[in-house]
Amino acid sequence: MRHGWSAGGAEGVTTLRTRSAVGRDGPLDTRETMPRLIRTPLRAPLRATPRRAAFGLVLSLGLALGLGLSACAVDDATLEAKLEKAQMSIDQGNYAAAEALLLEICPVLAECPDHILALLAEAQMGAGGVDVLNLLAAMDGLSTGDDTAVFDILDAMFGADGVTGAKVADLVNAIATLQTIAAPTANDTLQLAAAAAAHMVASVMLQTDPGNTGTFDSGLVDAPLAAAVTNDLLLVTSSAALVDAYLGGTTDATTDLGGLIEDIEGPGGDGVVDASELTTFVGSL
């Protein structure tokens, strides 16, 4: 069992640990150890909730006071109140309301501050069926010998309703929003890896199990789907590698997400998933 994400500390607070040659290290303070690759300070939490307190580092999306908001004609107090309301909507699972409110605050994404873009992406991923915090928790202790484990976890996150075209579109929007962030933090980059992985799984599910029966038809795999899967997985791999560079070590999340392409290709792959490899993988689900 791997323990990149492990529970510990007072009241079960989860802390991020890195792997090293001598074993697991203690809780990582990114302010001291994060390399200056594309480092920016982690944002202060918008508000303390039990759900977010359990994941102190990951996705601590919040309000950065003092940043100018050129695209918003609102004062600081109104902005803070609206962001608080958007965060509450996300915590309550009302993702559509959160997304609508954030787009009202900042309708032109290219002019939005990074902290608002990160919060918007979280709402869009939630609308797409993916809760990043739950996803990362589910990856703790995955079996290294199970090539379908990460795919299965992402599959299960879409719930009984399965994948729809609308959910895929929400994930596409989340990826685009995260890629608009000018100075992404480790949190943002890990969220991007998760979004691309979720989009890959959703695309495969939508095409090979269109009736949401729980049975995948590998005969429905084609070259365009394989190409789309490769594009998503390259984004997953590059984003996971950046997170590792930020943190100075690997985590279960980055190892599991970054290993998705090898899970599908098998050992000795060339980093490009072809239709034959994807067909074999889908047949094993």
d(CA 112, CA 68): 9
Parent domain of 68:
5-283
d(CA 264, CA 279): 9
Task: Report pLDDT for 161.
Answer: 77
Give mean pLDDT, residues 152-171.
Answer: 87
Which of 91, 171, 87, 84 minimizes the C-alpha distance to 127?
Answer: 171
Read off the pLDDT band of 19 (50, 70, 90).
very low
Q: Are the C-beta atoms of 179 and 235 separated by less than 8 Å?
A: no
Give mean pLDDT, residues 204-218.
Answer: 91
Is the model more confident about 82 or about 258?
82
d(CA 238, CA 189): 9
Task: Report pLDDT for 75.
Answer: 61
Number of H-type helices and E-type strands within the chain: 13, 4
pLDDT, tens digit, for every residue of 25-43? 333 333 333 332 333 333 3
Give mean pLDDT, residues 193-210.
Answer: 92
d(CA 197, CA 246): 20
Q: Is the pLDDT of residue 136 over 70?
A: yes
Task: Report pLDDT for 209.
Answer: 92
Token digits of residue 228: 């789309």
Task: Report pLDDT for 131.
Answer: 85
pLDDT, tens digit, for every residue of 243-274? 888 777 777 778 888 888 888 888 777 888 98
pLDDT, tens digit, for every residue of 93-126? 999 999 999 999 988 989 999 999 999 999 999 9
Question: Number of folded domains in the chain?
Answer: 1
% of the chain surpassing 70 pLDDT: 71
Task: Report pLDDT for 100.
Answer: 94
Return mean pLDDT, the chain. Answer: 74
